[in-house]
Amino acid sequence: MKKAPDAGPPVVLPNGGRRVRAQDVARAAGVSPATVDRVLNRRPGVRARTAQQVVEAAAALGYLPREELFEALRPKPLRLAFLLPAGNNRYLRMLGEYIASTGEQFAPFNVICQCRFVEQFDPRALAAALRSLRRRADGVVFMALEDPHVREAVEELSASGMPVLTLISDLSHSRRDAYVGLDNRAVGRTAARLMGRFVGDRRGKVALIAGSRRYRAHEEREMGFLGLIEEEFPRLSVIGLREGHDDATENYRQARRLLAQHPDLVGIYNVGGASDGVGRALREALRAETVVFIGHGLTPDTRTLLIEGTMDAALTQDHAAMVLNCVRIFNNLRDGRPALAGIEPLRIALFVRENLP
């Protein structure tokens, strides 16, 4: 560590041998005792040059060990809180586990990440959770639900100066600072391209199952999928979207109904999570080899489905890349740079049985 600049001649205290106090440091630095307290306890509101003066004076007076004084010049780590939906979506649980495991990984960015799960598909619960972080975090990242309650909570956090990012699913007409995730219309169009190619020359019906249209991401994937199927694969007709709420049991029920009602079903696109429920329905109906199945998220469940041939392709986005982008964006905002300065857009990762990692 570099040696601090010379603070000038030592201050001669009135009673010579008595212990140095914060007031003495304040007098030597030409600031108030309150400013000394803020600097040495790493609280905000002090200019960098003033903080340097306080540290130099404290070092010259021997107020604290030199290493502790220099540590006072380092800003406190940014507390970055992630809010994710609770439930049995394996991909989101794995994301939460990854966030919790980062530990010292983001120490070079001076950021500490924490993760909390909130009741899924409940906008009031999500809005309350967002508001609760106002004094417990320095920034928040969350998977948004399209709802006025959520939008109002984001408005309040933004007005208070807290940076807010949306993750995986964005929030329209809000004051969030940035969105971290894929272009979900492009995701839906990619799934449609795969579906049309995998089905081949067959005619028939294709079904969509989503977590919820409350997720803008799921709605945009649906729109992208429908648009490309209509443009390039007119031999396929799309059955109206069903909501499975990212629940394996509900996805199983929805898929069983679809298979029973539509003997000419040739494809299922699971827009959200819990693909294992759809896979179970396909196996039980003995339709796994004739119905093209495309889903999302590389998890132990989807990996098994790909290996056994029940699922044909899984679209996903990398956990580590998402979280790193969030951390880098907050660093940009903290340092006064544009939120997306130097941030690489996330890319769609496509897995089939043959390229599994």
Q: Is the dihedral of CA 228, 242, 199, 197 positive or negative?
A: positive
Residue 198 reports pLDDT greater than 70: yes
| Class of the CATH-defined domain 78-182+320-343 | alpha beta
Q: Rounded distance, CA 132 to CA 70, Å?
A: 33
Which of the residue ranges 59-68, 206-215, 247-256 would you say has the lowest mean pLDDT?
A: 59-68
CATH superfamily name and code, 22-71: lambda repressor-like DNA-binding domains (1.10.260.40)
Q: Rounded distance, CA 306 to CA 302, Å?
A: 6
Q: Which whole number is the average pLDDT over 302-325?
A: 97
Higher-pLDDT residue of 110 and 278 is 278
State residue 268's pLDDT score: 98
Domain coordinates in residue numbering, the chain:
22-71, 78-182+320-343, 184-316
C-beta of residue 307 within 8 angstroms of C-beta of residue 356: yes
pTM higher than 0.95, yes or no?
no
C-beta of residue 61 within 8 angstroms of C-beta of residue 29: no
State residue 153's pLDDT score: 98
Please give the CATH topology (third level) of the domain spanning 184-316.
Rossmann fold (3.40.50)
Q: Do 184-316 and 22-71 have the same topology in CATH? A: no
State residue 12's pLDDT score: 43
Nearest to 210 by CA among 161, 268, 157: 268
Q: Is 95 exposed, middle or buried (0-12, 13-18, 19+ CB in 10 A)?
A: buried
